[in-house]
Structure 1
Amino acid sequence: MEQIKKPFILGLGGTTNSVSSTEQALAIALHAAEEAGAETALFGSDRMMALPHYRSDPAGLNETGEELVALVRRADGLILASPGYHGTVSGLVKNAIDYIEETARDERIYLDGLPIGLIVTAYGWQAVGSTLAALRSIVHSLRGWPTPMGVGINASGGIFNDGVCTEQGVNEQLQLVAQQVMQRAETR
């Protein structure tokens, strides 16, 4: 009997703090994808901090950069999560996204046709909206398909604790974005 391949969903994002609201939200969404049948990997704070500034030449890739590019190439879908810093995507997350440039000459260029779920956390609604719009624009320019649900979280109330979100509505949104990524990944 032929074994069905599980979709591989890469979670990319966070901050320099591995217990940030951004990385906790991403982990919750990845867990929902796992429960829906995916294999997942989290490329979070520790590995993002190990990435040098992206350079468009082979000398710019260290082992962590090569690992990220390999994970992107393998992915059937992504979930991107960024804090809203000064109204846009953080430099740490943007640098990691810039590594996708290494796939420009691949058979599947960039994120062509991949479902991409988006999560933004910020300490205020203004940064949430503008950062979510910036991520959607980035995904479009990389030929990806942002899911209809994009999760915007005002984390100023401290709603994350030890990997748990205390707001049921936010949990439902994180689960929905994971489900939308999975649905599209499974139909590819």
Structure 2
Amino acid sequence: MNLLILSGSAFPGSHTHAVASKIASLVEQPEHTVTHLDLRELHLPIFGQGKTEDVETLKRLAENADAIIIGTPNYHTSFSGLLKNALDHLSTDEFEMKPVGLYCNSGGMRNSDPLTQLRMVMRGVHALVLPLQVCTCDTDFEQINEGYHLYNDELVERLSVMIDGLVRQSHTEMVNI
């Protein structure tokens, strides 16, 4: 499986980035490959304002992925504008019938509202979003150096189950009716 992780936090060393790093460490390699795109590091103009090399890279990586995991911080009970802009650059060409996993981090308490909204966006591009999702909050992490480490074992196990689901879905043959 070729897995793409999109991390939508605007801040370096974020909780969202820490979850993406944990996911990458849980994926069995070398039989599977993982590409983690920290969207804050890309030059993605506002959709409709032109294309850059980074936009083309994003599109190519998403199209070539067998499965995608999308992570976002909870910004005002929604997903980040950075992530929204990146998703606006993508379409059914990249997501059609592709398995997608979702996760988010909220500050004080877990909140799945951003993922509910992401499910609607993914439905619009015909992605196959897994029913299992992961919601973290700041107390699930410990700070290390410039970033965070997810130490909640129940959530790490939930991430593992999500990855297993993506592996199974990415190897399922599509049946045309």
Structure-2-length-normalised TM-score: 0.87
The reply on whether 1:115 has 2:95 as its aligned counterpart is: no
Hey, what does 1:4 align to over in structure 2? none
**Conserved in 2, the CA contact under 8 Å of 1:123 and 1:154?**
yes
Residue 168 of structure 1 and its aligned partner are, at CA, apart by 0.7
1:79 to 61, 69, 74: 69
- The AA in structure 2 aligned to 1:15 is S
Q: Relative to 1, partners in 2 of residues 1:34 and 1:96: Cα closer, same or farther, differing over 3 Å?
A: farther
Total equivalences in the alignment: 170
Hey, what does 1:133 align to over in structure 2? 116
**Conserved in 1, the CA contact under 8 Å of 2:5 and 2:70?**
yes
2:149 to 137, 157, 164: 164
Hey, what does 1:148 align to over in structure 2? 131
**CA displacement 1:90-117 (0-9 Å, x = unmatched):** 101111111113xx5xxxx341111100
- The AA in structure 1 aligned to 2:54 is T
Residue 84 of structure 1 and its aligned partner are, at CA, apart by 0.8
Alignment of 1:173-188 (within 5 A): 173-188=158-173
**CA displacement 1:138-175 (0-9 Å, x = unmatched):** 111110011121001122x2614445311111111111
Residue 83 of structure 1 and its aligned partner are, at CA, apart by 0.6
2:20 to 16, 26, 31: 26
SS in structure 2 at match of 1:96: helix
- Separation in 1 of the partners of 2:149 and 2:98? 28
The reply on whether 1:53 has 2:46 as its aligned counterpart is: yes
- Separation in 1 of the partners of 2:158 and 2:169? 17
Hey, what does 2:59 align to over in structure 1? 69
Higher helix share: 1
Hey, what does 2:31 align to over in structure 1? 37
Runs of 5+ consecutive residues of structure 1 not aligned to the other structure: 1-6
**Conserved in 1, the CA contact under 8 Å of 2:8 and 2:40?**
no
Runs of 5+ consecutive residues of structure 2 not aligned to the other structure: none
Q: Relative to 1, partners in 2 of residues 1:83 and 1:99: Cα closer, same or farther, differing over 3 Å?
A: same
